[in-house]
A = this chain, B = another copy of it.
Amino acid sequence: MTRFLGTHVNRLDRKGRVSVPAPFRAELTRAESDELIFVPSHREACIEAYTSRAFDDLVEKLENFDEFSEEREDFAATLYADAHPMRPDSEGRIMMPEALIAHAGLQESVAFIGMGKKFQIWDPEAARQRNSQARARVGEKGLTLPGRGPARPEGGA
């Protein structure tokens, strides 16, 4: 399983290129496919980056819907239409599509943020804000990971 970890900030040059961080490239090598699928996040001002395999997993849910059903068509459009398949060049760089630059509000620097089997791409300042907010939420709610047995009588049950 691929595992993207850590935060790496690289420069977006005037041609729209940016180096994929070396550790992330190493993960791609390990996954035996250097293809990446970029999708604009629909919840936040960032780009979600999936390996070819992770994207397939995402798409698998499609098969649960009937051919030509509205649900399936909607789902497919949402998933596929804005997806950008990317492949790092010989230098390990990728060309950022204009639409994604706009969506994430990228300027001269971009932050690559490991999220395990995928990673995200942010404007560094926006990422900082998001992270501190996320941290605060986790703290005040005392979140734990979904788990085995009913250890705590929390909300749901």
Contacts and interface: CB of A to CB of B under 8 A. Distances in A.
Interface of A: 4-7, 23, 37, 39, 41-43, 48, 50, 58-59, 61-62, 67-68, 70-71, 73-85, 113-116, 127, 130-131, 134-135, 137-139, 141, 143-147, 152-157
25 contacts: A5-B37, A5-B80, A5-B83, A5-B84, A6-B81, A6-B82, A39-B146, A41-B147, A42-B139, A42-B146, A43-B68, A43-B147, A58-B146, A71-B141, A73-B134, A74-B135, A74-B137, A76-B116, A77-B115, A77-B134, A77-B135, A79-B146, A80-B116, A116-B157, A146-B155
A130 B114 CA distance: 31
Give the interface centre of A37, A48, A81, A135 by most chain B CB atoms within 10 Å.
A81
Contacts of A74: 134-135, 137-138
Nearest to A113: B81
Given A81-B114, A146-B155, 11 more contacts: A6-B83, A7-B81, A41-B146, A42-B146, A42-B147, A43-B147, A71-B138, A81-B113, A81-B131, A134-B153, A145-B156
Contact of A147 (B48, B73, B146): B48
A48 B73 CA distance: 11
